[in-house]
Amino acid sequence: MNQTNWVKGPVVQLNLQFFDGPGDNYTVTVWVKGNRGTGDFVTADPKIHQVLKFMLIPVPTKITFRPWVELKAKYPKAAEYLGLGLVDDAAAQQRYTDLQANKPASLACFMNLITAMNRIGIGAGKTPLDYLKKIKWDDSFAQDRFFGYIDPAMIPAVEATARDGGVAEERDPGVLHPGATLSYKQTEYDYSNVQLTFHQNAGDLRMIDGLECVLFEPDMDLYKNFLDHGVLEVLPNLLTHGLTDPVDILSLRWLDTTDAHEPPFDPGYTLA
């Protein structure tokens, strides 16, 4: 059943027909002039007054980054890892400025990943960020992922988290992540889950401060299901030679966190 309503105002009341069966699963899509279309799934239930919230993203979309002082004060993790390996605050600020000018989409992706990983618990009160020793700021720093080196102690911590159900192993990681030997994906949300991928081959190891570290590749997938990820995300990117848009990740992660009644996902940049 298709139903279209043209309405005014930021709040819309929908009356969905209830069948007490499979017909109660609806897809709600929203389009507002001058913005990207968006949507979510909902199951009709007369006993529950469900509230759906949507992030409206203007078209064309401009990513706007906060001043460095404000970023440090309000988003300290993003600032901390932008400065990883540098000797002082001025160098970190310069890196932030350079990335805004030359790689804004990659910077947005990085901030998405830092914010998301900071909410993933692995080990004893740790997050993936606690194991991150170095970030590669070369051409591999992309709008859909970055590479770095981690303390190898992260791997058994992630494996233990998988046994508890917080993440799940992705089989044959080298198919979509060339050279990868091990990969785990967050299972918490319907969309925009973080994938933690490891490259443990001899050529991917590096000594950092006397510790042999493992090449690490975090990214975020638009879709939780492996088939959906391949057909709806990977394949279109291959055909168009494109990369996953960090703004799409932001939108879906925001949707996931609000659906889960968590603080809305806020990586520290704005859209205009």
| Cβ count near 106 (within 10 Å) | 21
- Give residue 140's pLDDT: 97
* Per-residue pLDDT tens listing for the chain (272 residues): 566 777 777 788 888 888 888 888 888 888 888 888 887 788 888 888 788 888 888 888 999 999 999 999 999 999 999 999 998 999 999 999 999 999 999 999 999 999 999 999 998 889 999 999 999 999 999 999 999 999 999 999 999 999 999 899 999 999 989 999 999 999 999 889 999 999 999 999 999 999 999 999 999 988 665 545 444 444 555 556 578 899 999 999 999 999 888 999 999 999 98
Break the chain into its structural domains and give their ranges: 1-59, 63-271
Helix or strand holding residue 201 (H, E): none
List beta partners, residue 43: 25
* Burial of 113 from C-beta contacts in 10 A (0-12 / 13-18 / 19+): buried
What backbone phi and psi angles, to 5 degrees, belong to 92?
-65, -40
- Give residue 237's pLDDT: 58
pTM for this entry: 0.87
- Give residue 229's pLDDT: 45
* Exposure b/e, 217-250, CB count within 10 A at least 16 = b: bbbbbbbbeeeebeeebbeeeeeeeeebbbbbbb
| Strands in the chain per DSSP E | 25-30, 38-43, 63-65, 132-135, 148-150, 167-169, 182-186, 191-199, 205-208, 211-223, 269-271
The token pair at 167 is 């993440």
Decide: 57 and 35 in contact? Cβ < 8 Å: yes
